[in-house]
Amino acid sequence: MKLERRVEEGVGSRLPKSPTGIRGLDEITQGGLPAGRSTLVCGNAGCGKTLLSMEFLVHGAREYSEPGVFLGFEETVEDLAANVASLGFDLKGLMAEGKLVVDHVYIERSEIEETGAYDLEGLFVRLGHAIDTIGARRVVLDTLEALFSGLPNPHILRAELRRLFRWLKQRGVTAVITGESGASTLTRYGIEEYVSDCVIVLDHRVAEQVSTRRLHVMKYRGSLHGTNEYPFMIDEHGIVVLPVTSLGLEHEGLEERIPTGVSQLDAMLGGEGYYRGSSVLVSGTAGTGKTSIAAHFADATCRRGERCLYFLFEESSSQFLRNMRSIGLDLKPWSGQGLLRFYAARPTLYGLEGHLATALKEINAFDPSVVIVDPISAFQGSGRPTEVKAMLIRLVDYLKSRGITMLLTNLTSAATAIEHTEVEISSLIDTWLLLREIELSGERNRGLYVIKSRGTAHSNQIREFLLTDNGVQLVEAYVGLEGVLTGSARLAQEAREQAQVLELEQELERSQASLERKRRSLESQLETLRSELAANEAESERLLRQREERHERLAGYRSAMERSRRVDHDVDEETR
Amino acid sequence: MGEQVGAEKKQKAEWELRLYVAGQTPNAIAAFANLKRICEEHLAGKYSIEVVDLLENPKLAAGDQIIALPTLVRKLPPPMRQIIGDLSDTERVLVGLDLRPPS
């Protein structure tokens, strides 16, 4: 016995726990199963008991260096090894390395004759030997209750089981005992009364043709634990339990903004786009362009060199790529460069928890900065509205906790109020874009509103939403006395306005021309006056010259007279 | 292995029996005494008994699928049969060993 690993139960000390390594379960149990004690895992046939217990051992052996013993009463070693090989568990390898002992206990009632008092010391010896051989810290007894159907005299069995659990505790091993659910008791033979430390109930239900596995920690003495029923699934790596990852709202509000891929939409959201790490909902009726908005966002993300994970629940990725090419968005190169990854599946492929788990797995594997789910309304058929909502809360919470920006699209059916999201998640959403049809003058056109956008100064206006060969264009819708005009009505209105402008311009031109004419006529008048003036001036000059000439001629005449009269020149007379 | 008890040890016995015990418990002692008595009464000269103490050889428990103790295993003649308990119910032991049809 390895005393150094024995459980110390000091007052106030935290209960030591043995991590299961099962994704999600350690979070619910806040660290794992009670170390050095026994845990009962019960549920119906096929609910995953054996797998859970086997994972507990394999993870223990591989990741926590705690060797384990698996005592199976139902399946042979070969069957067990084959069953879990698909999950990547190499039982034979672990057995060869001395990290695991798998023993099959075969009991056939018809081959056993009871002839008097007996005990289960043989089981103790086998278990003890296996534990000692590899120094096991973990023990699994898979469907211990098989003893009840295999051996006579339940009174002896009950006494011996009680002794077994005491013995396991003394050995200080962490044990998992599985049991089939009984009609009204947790286990068929009521062995829960011997295992009082921790009880985990597994369940496998089919509701509306969708099967959902659930896990519930019914009891965990001395420890806090999540008390809800948690969906879980079995994927190619084993069991994944899906706890609500963040019970509080502690995610960081990031200041960074990232473009939407449609510049006019960026402008509507205060000029910079969405907040990084926020949740964006694009809702609208069929054919309003939700996917196009999402594709633009994906394109913008990849353009920045960031990774985008695109969940398609209504079309295949090649169909999506083709459709987006028709509006001038070629996303294929991004897909080729590994920046864009698609995950396309029918919503009915798995139950809700299956989708969530797959989504989380894909997200963990790809580590994107943007996740797009197109559309979330596809999940309506997969569960009750509360379940769908719970799943989406988990997804949104998870993405927020990782700072991943998400864009969800939602198909609103025409019959319901347009602001109604079928799965009622609007309260989870930071930015909500509503695409709606505007019916006017016998046309259907698309309009886009920003219903809300937490933390941004966003436009309160409706924009007309056009799908062109060059992607999405947002056009300012005509808003005037006649209301919001879109499509050809808007074009007609715009044409009318343009005609008015033209008319004004022409009028201006006309008045300018007449002014010019007036100016010209005034100028010509000015010219006439000027020439008249010049003529006057010439005339006056001529008169002056005439006068001088006359004077000269007169003077000459006088002197000639004087000369002829031979009189003296009389100056006074001459000047008079 | 355990001690060999019985008639002719050197030659192959027609009845080969193996009794699994874990230490000298009252059940083990009673079982051995009962077995010896029944064999002498019904199989005198044709049997061999091997007693396996699992405290000494714990790894032998898995081989014959031993859970309960004491367990008597009829190795020969086939088919193999298991009889558990202290063998105090002689009738059931005889049924278990196929020496008497079940009543």
A312-341 per-position pLDDT tens digit: 888 888 888 998 888 888 888 998 888 999
The mean pLDDT value for A382-401 works out to 78
Point out the residue among A105, A117, A129 whose CB comes nearest to the CB of B67: A105
Q: Which tokens hold the place of A373?
A: 């789910």
Element of type H or E holding A125: helix A121-134
- Would an 8 Å CB–CB cutoff place A62 in contact with chain B? no
pLDDT score recorded for residue A8: 41
Given this model, what pLDDT does residue A140 score? 94
Please tell me which residue of chain A has the smallest CA distance to B83: A113
On chain A, the residues whose CB falls within 8 A of the CB of B87 are: 115-116
* pLDDT score at A185: 80
Residue B92 lies in a domain: yes
Domain residue limits, chain A: 2-107+120-241, 257-476
Whether the CB of A141 is below 8 Å from some CB of chain B: the reply is no
A343: β partners:
A311
- Chain A residues close to B57, C-beta within 8 Å: none
Nearest to A125 among B31, B58, B79 (CB): B58
As a whole-number percent, the residues of chain A with pLDDT over 70 amount to 88
Amino acid, res. B20: Y
Residue B4: pLDDT band (50, 70, 90) is low
Closest residue of B to A150, CA-based? B67
Per-residue model confidence (pLDDT) at position A418: 55
At A358, which amino acid appears?
Answer: T
- Global ipTM: 0.87
pLDDT, position A483: 65
A497 phi, psi to nearest 5 deg: -65, -40
Q: Do B54 and A125 touch (CB under 8 A)?
A: yes
Question: What is the pTM assigned to this prediction?
Answer: 0.65
The answer to whether A128 contacts chain B (CB < 8 Å) is yes
Picking from A106, A115, A151, the nearest residue to B96 by CB comes out as A115
Q: How far is CA A143 from CA A203, A214, A236, in A?
A: 16, 19, 24
The pLDDT of residue A246: 47
**Edge-to-edge strands, sheet with A308-312:** A340-344, A308-312, A370-374, A405-411, A279-284, A431-440, A443-453, A463-468, A471-476
Q: In this structure, what CATH number is given to the domain that contains residue B65?
A: 3.40.30.10
Q: What is the per-residue pLDDT for A11?
A: 39
**What confidence score (pLDDT) does residue A3 get?**
41
Q: Which residues of chain B does A107 touch, with a Cβ-Cβ cutoff of 8 Å?
A: 65, 67
Q: Hey, what CATH class is A2-107+120-241 in? A: alpha beta
Give me the pLDDT at residue A572, please: 55
Q: Can you give the pLDDT at residue B8? A: 46
Geometric angle at alpha carbon B29, from B24 and B34, rounded to 5°? 160
Residue A568 has pLDDT above 80, yes or no: no
Domain annotation covers residue B42: yes
Rounded CA-CA distance A105/A121 in Å is 14
pLDDT number for residue A4: 40
- Is B83 within a domain? yes
Average pLDDT over residues A220-224: 84
> Across-strand partners of A308?
A340, A370
Q: Is residue B43 part of a domain?
A: yes
pLDDT attached to residue A164:
92
Contact A122 B66 (CB under 8 A): yes
pLDDT at A249 over 60: no
The first and second tokens of residue A425, run together, are 């998640």
pLDDT bin (cut points 50, 70, 90) of residue A7 is: very low
pLDDT: which is higher, A210 or B85: B85
Between residues A249 and B24, which one has the greater pLDDT?
Answer: B24
Contact B85 A129 (CB under 8 A): no
Give residue B71's pLDDT: 92
Name beta bridge partners: A201.
Answer: A42, A216
The pLDDT value recorded for residue B100 is 75
> Binning pLDDT at 50, 70 and 90, where does residue A417 land?
low
Give the pLDDT confidence score for residue A422 in this predicted structure: 56
Q: Which helix (H) or strand (E) holds A53?
A: helix A49-63
A550: helix, strand or coil: helix
In which region does residue B45 sit, left (phi positive, over 0), alpha (psi from -120 to 50) or beta (all else)? left
Mean pLDDT to the nearest integer, A483-488: 70
Query: Pick the residue with more confidence: A511 or A414?
Result: A511
Residue B101 lies in a domain: no
Domains identified in chain B, total number:
1
Please indicate, yes or no, if residue B102 is contained in any of the structural domains.
no
pLDDT digits (tens, 9 = 90+) for A84-139: 998 889 999 999 999 999 999 888 888 888 888 899 999 999 999 999 999 999 99
Q: What per-residue confidence (pLDDT) applies to A512?
A: 92
Please give the biggest Cα pair distance in chain B. 38
Collapsed DSSP state (helix, strand, coil) of residue B24:
coil
Mean pLDDT calculated for residue range A417-427 = 62
pLDDT at residue A561, rounded to an integer: 83
Say whether B65 and A103 touch across the interface (CB within 8 A). Answer: no
State residue A531's pLDDT score: 93
pLDDT of residue A308: 93
Considering the four listed CATH numbers 3.40.50.300, 3.30.1280.10, 2.30.42.10, 3.40.190.10, the one that applies to the domain covering A257-476 is 3.40.50.300
Q: Work out the average pLDDT over A261-280.
A: 86
Q: Determine contact: A151 vs chain B, CB below 8 A.
A: yes
Phi, psi of A463 (to 5 degrees): -115, 145
Interface contact flag, B58 A113, Cβ < 8 Å: no
Domain that holds residue B44: 4-96
